[in-house]
Amino acid sequence: MKRRSSGTRRALWRSLAAAALLVALTALVVWRLLSARPAWWNPAEPSAAESLSRGEYLENQIVTAFHKVRPADASRWTLELDAQWINAWLATRLPLWAANRNLSWSAILHEANVSISEGRLHFGARYGAGESGQVYSVDFQPELDGQGRLRLKALRIRAGRLPLPLGLALDSLEGLSRNWPELNAALRGDGIDPVFRLSDGRRVALRGLAFEDHRLLLTLETLPDR
């Protein structure tokens, strides 16, 4: 009986040791995935002169393109957005833009950056200040539906490189962007009417989008006042 009891205890200890090792390895893998950054992660340096000039130039180019007066037979036009220039704008101009609109996430999301590839838009940011902040990223597939409404189909959300449950993550995003209902509608699949009203009464409508060489190509149409 003693031998059997001793053998049973040894088997139990071996099982417990194996379980502990498995838990430790799982925790290590999860920690490494959480602390890792997406392969495409490359935020612009906000204080760099190149970032400052690129961000301001891109913003001015967009404003100029939207407000340009075009002949009636040339109302459709194309706007090219390069990922590097978008990242420069995100690093230097987005914080000012968000703060002026009292958007709730402006003080807690940092190092926002994007990557454009294979028909997808990858967006990431660091939640919290400093290196201790957690990096979160979302893979989007933006598209226009049959009614011309813009939808941002969220394909995957990660913390570091660890996939998160999509529904739970979308709930968190909705909480962060509660002052931006249009974004929430696009993320939830309801879609938004991608029409922007200009100060002179004219409107600019998004009519198409395409991806090419890390660039986002937008087809837009300038519409008269109504």
Residue spans of the domains in the chain: they are 49-223
Give tens-digit pLDDT for 42-74.
Answer: 999 999 999 999 999 999 999 999 999 988 788
The pLDDT, as a whole number, for residue 4 is 55
197-217 core/surface letters (b: 16 or more CB in 10 A; e: else): eeeeebebbbbebeeeeebbe
What does residue 197 show for φ and ψ, rounded to 5 degrees? -90, 135
If pLDDT is split at 50, 70 and 90, which confidence band does 128 have? confident
Q: How far is residue 26's CA from residue 220's CA, in Å, rounded to a whole number?
A: 49
Q: Which one is predicted more confidently, 81 or 32? A: 81
* pTM for this predicted structure: 0.79
Give tens-digit pLDDT for 155-203.
Answer: 888 888 888 887 766 666 666 556 566 666 666 667 888 999 998 899 9
Q: How far is residue 185's CA from residue 150's CA, in Å, rounded to a whole number?
A: 10
* Tokens read off for 53: 């000039």
Name the CA radius of gyration of the chain, rounded.
Answer: 24
Question: Which residue's entry shows tokens 């990431």?
Answer: 124
The pLDDT, as a whole number, for residue 186 is 66
* Tokens read off for 187: 């993320």
Residue 104 CB partners (closer than 8 Å, separation 6+): 176, 177, 178, 179
If pLDDT is split at 50, 70 and 90, which confidence band does 5 have? low
- In which order are the strands placed within the sheet that holds 162-163? 109-117, 120-127, 134-144, 150-159, 162-163
* Tokens read off for 60: 């001015």
Mean pLDDT of 114-125: 89
Predicted confidence (pLDDT) at residue 2 exceeds the cutoff of 60: no
CB 192 within 8 A of CB 185: yes
Q: How far is residue 163's CA from residue 158's CA, in Å, rounded to a whole number?
A: 4
Segment among 113-127, 140-154, 169-183 with least mean pLDDT: 169-183
Question: Which residue's entry shows tokens 């420069």?
Answer: 88
The pLDDT, as a whole number, for residue 162 is 84
The pLDDT, as a whole number, for residue 23 is 67
Residue 155 CB partners (closer than 8 Å, separation 6+): 120, 139, 140, 141
Q: Which one is predicted more confidently, 53 or 25? A: 53
Q: How far is residue 117's CA from residue 154's CA, in Å, rounded to a whole number?
A: 15
Find how far residue 114's CA is from the centre of its chain.
7
43 three-state secondary structure: coil
